[in-house]
Chain A
Amino acid sequence: MARALLVTIRETRAYLRDRGELAFSLLLPIAIFALMYGAFGGESMFHGTAYVVNEDVDGAYSTRLIERLDELDNLDVNLLSWPEASAKLRRSDVLLVVCIPEDFSARLISGWPTQLVFRQRGNGGDEGQIVASLVRGVAEEISQEIQIERQVQRALVGKGIGQEKIQTTVQKLLDREREFPIVGVSEETIGTGVDPVHQFLPGIVTMFVLFSITLNARAIVEERRKGTLERLLTTRLRVGELFTGKFLASVSRGLLQTLILLTLAYIVFQIFTPVSFIQAITIVLFFAAAGSALGLVIASVVRSEDAANWIAVFFTMSMVMVSGTFFPIPEDSILYTVSKLSINTHANVALKTVIAEGGSLGDVGLELTILAGVGVVGLILSRILFRVVPGGSR
């Protein structure tokens, strides 16, 4: 066993000394993490722009509408002329423009209904739909205010109160109501929301660990070509020890990589508790063992480094694509059944359970059993197929 550990230490040292491999296995996922953090790590509240064409220039109600929109924290107002708005819509620079018609204020003053017009490409896009909803809300608010003004005026007819005073008083009351509404809404934030980091982190970690581990098959083929494997087996090192050493080196490499990536995630995204962190590392230990065993199967069947590379890439990408790493897989689809064949699926489910859902290792017993089973079967299979030299007896 001591010789197996010496093989493990040598392999791990070689991995740490290989700058290219380190860059691939550590810096690339870190770079992807940084991109994710840039994309998802900041404020996740909506903030959009309302593109408005105001043909009712200096109109009392169009001015009030625009001011109200501008007062919203999550909305900017960008006034455009018709030609500008048309050009932007044509180029799809914007997908929705709010048009205030020329007679907007005049009709409201005369007591006639009027309409805002939403000019949009398709459904106006996600942002456009939210902007449209906010504009509708403000328009309804103004509409209700006008109705209240009219009702108050009607009620006070003949009481000797001037119309201007009625308007000013009603407006003051409405402003106070907006500031201190009778039915208010408050926000209570409990932890983080459904975070894209939760969604993607397990998949990215397992993808890179699997890549790194299966590409290790190439290193074994290279060792076979260079003659070091054969030389080792003319020493007192037994095949079982060599095999154990290679397997442990591969698992250590996966764990080391995971430890760095998850520690980074711990610090940057603050999505772990100490317990969930240790649980996540434990899950990846099972995953790394399963992946290492499959990497050894690849090393056992291929004869060239190129073949090892391509099989490792194909194998990893297949596992990643069907595991729902980048897109959710509906439960009633055929792909859902296929996804159960991927070890990444089971590792991702287990990691999401402990990271995002606060589950424990007991909750992911099935996933861990499957990963352990794949590891054991992979090890037995690869040991049967493994040959130090092609056609060799050991």
Chain B
Amino acid sequence: MAEVFLMAEDLHRSFDEYKAVNGVSFTIHKGEIFGLLGPNGAGKTTTIRILSTVLNPDHGDVTIGGYSIRDNAGAVRSLIAVCPQELALYADLSALDNMVFFGRMVGLGGKEAVAQAMKNLELMGLAERAKGRVDKFSGGMKRRVNLAIALMGTPELLFLDEPTVGIDPQSRNRIYETIESLRDKGMTILYTTHYMEEADRLCDRVAIMDGGQIIAMGTPQQLKSQIGPPEQVTLEDVFLRLTGRTLRD
């Protein structure tokens, strides 16, 4: 069994009376792709914000690479990167300039940042558009730049928050391939998505959240086998069985 790289213990976070995260605990092993699934409002984004040191938990703690987010957030941030659900890019900059800017922010030197940016753009199939302004890019290209930025500085733990929302199959496939290659290189990934087949394909283990709590956790195979023969059941069946069919806004 690989070493535990992330350990979240009894996390709680409320906004006024609303309990967004209510007693969440899980671990992620080094080199693992861990899926965090759940309907809208389940508490996934708040959990990621806590894990990525943007929000402090009201209670509980997270240890990443041996560092506590409460006691040593700076050290934690040197190990992680976040690819947010929003296209968190500067529209007035080129893809390369965006990447170099964020590369400098994670501690790379100027030349190092340019070299790594070009390598990551190559990986995303965007090397030829490196100097194009991102506001002229298609949705799929922006998504790929969004992910490429997160790879600057080669983080040990990558948070991917719905990285394939609203893009064409080609771009999505490129992102899948990139994520798989990152896993092969030993990167640890926390992945959230609403596409269950995506989680089934990519994730070693998944946790399903609802109402601020984890209601199920295991490998996709284990979760599917809880409700029927794994080869006849999809992860979406499991998800709907556990979270219900009521619409969430």
Interface residues of A (CB under 8 A from B): 3, 6, 10, 13-14, 17-18, 226-228, 230-238, 388-389, 391-394
| B90 close to A230 (CB less than 8 A) | no
From B15, B90, B105, contact of A14 by CB (8 A):
B90
Which residue of the partner chain A has the closest CB to B78? A236
| B105 close to A3 (CB less than 8 A) | yes
| A394 close to B54 (CB less than 8 A) | yes
Instruction: Find chain A residues with CB under 8 A from B53 CB.
Output: 233-234, 394
Within 8 A of A (CB), among B71-101: 74, 77-78, 80-82, 84-90, 92-93, 101
| A230 close to B105 (CB less than 8 A) | no
| B90 close to A234 (CB less than 8 A) | no
Please report the C-alpha to C-alpha distance between residue A333 and residue B91 in the assembled complex, in whole angstroms: 50
Can you identify 13 A-B contacts, CB atoms within 8 angstroms?
A13-B92, A232-B105, A234-B82, A235-B77, A235-B81, A235-B106, A235-B153, A237-B105, A238-B74, A388-B54, A392-B55, A393-B55, A393-B56
| A230 close to B106 (CB less than 8 A) | no
Within 8 A of A (CB), among B18-63: 49, 52-56
B107: CB under 8 A from chain A? yes
From A3, A13, A226, A389, contact of B88 by CB (8 A):
A226
Instruction: Find chain A residues with CB under 8 A from B77 CB.
Output: 234-236
Instruction: Find chain A residues with CB under 8 A from B105 CB.
Output: 3, 6, 232, 235-237
10 further contact pairs, Cβ within 8 A, besides A227-B85, A231-B102, A392-B49: A3-B104, A6-B105, A10-B90, A13-B92, A14-B90, A233-B54, A237-B105, A388-B54, A389-B55, A392-B55
Instruction: Find chain A residues with CB under 8 A from B15 CB.
Output: 391
Q: How far is the CB of A392 from chain B (nearest CB, A)?
A: 5
From B56, B84, B104, contact of A230 by CB (8 A):
B84
Which residue of the partner chain B has the closest CB to A6? B104
Please report the C-alpha to C-alpha distance between residue A237 and residue B52 in the assembled complex, in whole angstroms: 13
Tally of A-B residue pairs with Cβ under 8 A? Answer: 75
| A228 close to B90 (CB less than 8 A) | yes
Q: How far is the CB of A65 from chain B (nearest CB, A)?
A: 71
Q: How far is the CB of B67 from chain A (nearest CB, A)?
A: 13
| A227 close to B49 (CB less than 8 A) | no
Q: How far is the CB of A216 from chain B (nearest CB, A)?
A: 15
Q: How far is the CB of B215 from chain A (nearest CB, A)?
A: 25
Instruction: Find chain B residues with CB under 8 A from A236 CB.
Output: 74, 77-78, 105-107
| A230 close to B78 (CB less than 8 A) | no
Instruction: Find chain A residues with CB under 8 A from B54 CB.
Output: 230, 233-234, 388-389, 392-394
Instruction: Find chain A residues with CB under 8 A from B87 CB.
Output: 226-227
Asked if A235 meets B74 with Cβ closer than 8 Å, knowing A17-B92, A392-B54, A393-B55, the reply is: no
Please report the C-alpha to C-alpha distance between residue A394 and residue B92 in the assembled complex, in whole angstroms: 26
Instruction: Find chain B residues with CB under 8 A from A10 CB.
Output: 90, 93, 101
Please report the C-alpha to C-alpha distance between residue A17 and residue B106 in the assembled complex, in whole angstroms: 25
Which residue of the partner chain A has the closest CB to B15? A391
Please report the C-alpha to C-alpha distance between residue A6 and residue B86 in the assembled complex, in whole angstroms: 23
| B101 close to A6 (CB less than 8 A) | yes
Asked if A18 meets B92 with Cβ closer than 8 Å, knowing A3-B105, A388-B54, A391-B15, the reply is: yes
Instruction: Find chain A residues with CB under 8 A from B153 CB.
Output: 235
Please report the C-alpha to C-alpha distance between residue A238 and residue B106 in the assembled complex, in whole angstroms: 11
Which residue of the partner chain A has the closest CB to B14? A391
Please report the C-alpha to C-alpha distance between residue A250 and residue B87 in the assembled complex, in whole angstroms: 25
Instruction: Find chain A residues with CB under 8 A from B56 CB.
Output: 393
Instruction: Find chain B residues with CB under 8 A from A13 CB.
Output: 92
Instruction: Find chain B residues with CB under 8 A from A391 CB.
Output: 15, 55
Please report the C-alpha to C-alpha distance between residue A14 and residue B101 in the assembled complex, in whole angstroms: 13
Please report the C-alpha to C-alpha distance between residue A394 and residue B49 in the assembled complex, in whole angstroms: 11
Please report the C-alpha to C-alpha distance between residue A392 and residue B49 in the assembled complex, in whole angstroms: 9
From B78, B84, B104, B107, contact of A231 by CB (8 A):
B84
| A228 close to B88 (CB less than 8 A) | yes
Which residue of the partner chain A has the closest CB to B101? A10
Instruction: Find chain B residues with CB under 8 A from A231 CB.
Output: 82, 84, 88, 102, 149
Within 8 A of A (CB), among B90-140: 90, 92-93, 101-102, 104-107
| B92 close to A14 (CB less than 8 A) | yes
Which residue of the partner chain A has the closest CB to B133? A17
Q: How far is the CB of A17 from chain B (nearest CB, A)?
A: 5
Q: How far is the CB of B151 from chain A (nearest CB, A)?
A: 13
| B74 close to A234 (CB less than 8 A) | no
Which residue of the partner chain A has the closest CB to B89? A228
Instruction: Find chain B residues with CB under 8 A from A392 CB.
Output: 49, 54-55
Which 9 pairs from chain A and chain B are nearest by CB?
A227-B86, A227-B88, A393-B56, A235-B105, A231-B88, A234-B82, A227-B84, A228-B88, A234-B52
